[in-house]
Amino acid sequence: MAGLKEIRIRLQSVKNTKKITYAMKLVSAAKLRKAQESVARSREYTNALNSLLREVVAASESEQTHPLLRTKEEPKKIRVLVLGGSRGLCGGYNSNVNKQIEAFIRARQNGPVSIDWVLVGKKPAEYFRRLNRPYVKSFENLTEDANNWDIESITRAVEHDFLTEAIDEVYMIFTRFKSAISMQPTCEKLLPLESDLLQNKPLSLSKVIFEPSPAAVFSAMLPRVLRAKVRQAALDAKASEQGSRMTAMDSATKNAGELIHKLELTLNKLRQTSITSQLLDIIGGAEAVQ
């Protein structure tokens, strides 16, 4: 068993660690609140934009077409946009993103499909470099606030090659934020844009006179819809990272508290044993003198 000195040193070390994890928990909680607000506002905007697009379709007299809606029966070239974390100490957040990457590869490894990657965040890029796996582009120097990310550049990294038919489909791998304790690693198709956006519903704008035409408005809106989807995924990913970090630091703080309690019990027992031993030595010495 370790001596009193070793236990005191370890106890102080654990107490210092607990202070650090508790501080990190508070910082992550503050960042999470801001991230949650951004996610909620972005979802409202995205939903409103999608509803407006459907109304424009309803006001149109003909079927709408656009290069971002181009589909191929047998896609051969796929690009995946991965939105991951930039730091560690966030539980299984980064490893869950990596699992989604590997699951995507396994699902298509037997088919005649080539896959390339665009990586957002330091952790996905580090993961690919560790495996010596090539990627098209990475965005690693990102701020803590996903609202300040260069969504235009990130979107163009997949949009341009899709429009020029260098790739046939684009998918996104990210973590969808539900709550501080509930996040869902997700893989969803980004391009071509979903056909449900084009459902013709008799909505309020069907009686509006458009200038320019509904077709022109539709063509102008689709790139905005694409960027809104990428921005929403980025905000979800960052909120999920902060939520995972807060949960991990909360768990670490609780574990440190339990370890401190055990070490204090051990320390007290050793001190009691030492004092008892010293008393017995004193009593034994006194009896020997008598």
Q: What is the pLDDT of residues 173-204, one digit of tens each?
A: 999 999 888 899 999 999 998 766 666 555 55
With a cut of 70, say whether residue 137 has pLDDT above it. yes
DSSP state of 197: G
Asked which of 13-22, 159-168, 204-213, 228-237 is least confident by mean pLDDT, the reply is 204-213
pLDDT given at position 201: 57
pLDDT given at position 244: 93
pLDDT given at position 41: 94
Integer angstrom CA distances of residue 188 from 101, 174, 220, 244: 12, 9, 23, 21
Give the span between the Cα atoms of 245 and 177, in whole angstroms: 13
With a cut of 70, say whether residue 281 has pLDDT above it. no
Residue 275 pLDDT grade (very low, low, confident, very high; cuts 50, 70, 90): confident
pLDDT given at position 18: 93
With a cut of 70, say whether residue 110 has pLDDT above it. yes
Q: Stretch 43-55: mean pLDDT, rounded?
A: 88
Strand pairing report for 77-83 and 169-179: parallel
pLDDT, one tens digit per residue, over 18-41 is: 999 999 999 999 999 999 999 999
With a cut of 80, say whether residue 231 has pLDDT above it. yes
Q: Which of the residues 32, 90, 190, 239 is marked catalytic?
A: 90
pLDDT given at position 82: 96
pLDDT, one tens digit per residue, over 198-215 is: 665 555 555 677 778 878
Helix/strand/coil (H/E/C) assignment for every residue in 138-166: EECCCCCCHHHCCHHHHHHHHHHHHHCCC
Q: Which amino acid is at 104?
A: F
Give the span between the Cα atoms of 157 and 136, in whole angstroms: 9
Give the span between the Cα atoms of 181 and 280, in whole angstroms: 55
Provide CATH code, domain 28-246.
3.40.1380.10
Mean pLDDT of the chain: 87
- Give the pTM: 0.85
pLDDT given at position 285: 64
With a cut of 90, say whether residue 246 has pLDDT above it. yes
pLDDT given at position 61: 65
Smallest CA-to-CA distance from 103 within 85, 115, 112, 92 is with 115
pLDDT given at position 203: 54
pLDDT given at position 65: 78
Strand partners, 78: 115, 169
Strand pairing report for 137-139 and 114-120: parallel
Q: Stretch 209-234: mean pLDDT, rounded?
A: 88
pLDDT given at position 216: 84
90 is catalytic: yes
With a cut of 80, say whether residue 89 has pLDDT above it. yes
Domain-by-domain residue ranges, the chain? 28-246
Residue 55 pLDDT grade (very low, low, confident, very high; cuts 50, 70, 90): confident
Percentages helix, strand, coil for the chain (3-state, rounded to 5) are: 65, 15, 25
pLDDT given at position 6: 86
pLDDT given at position 97: 95
pLDDT given at position 269: 85
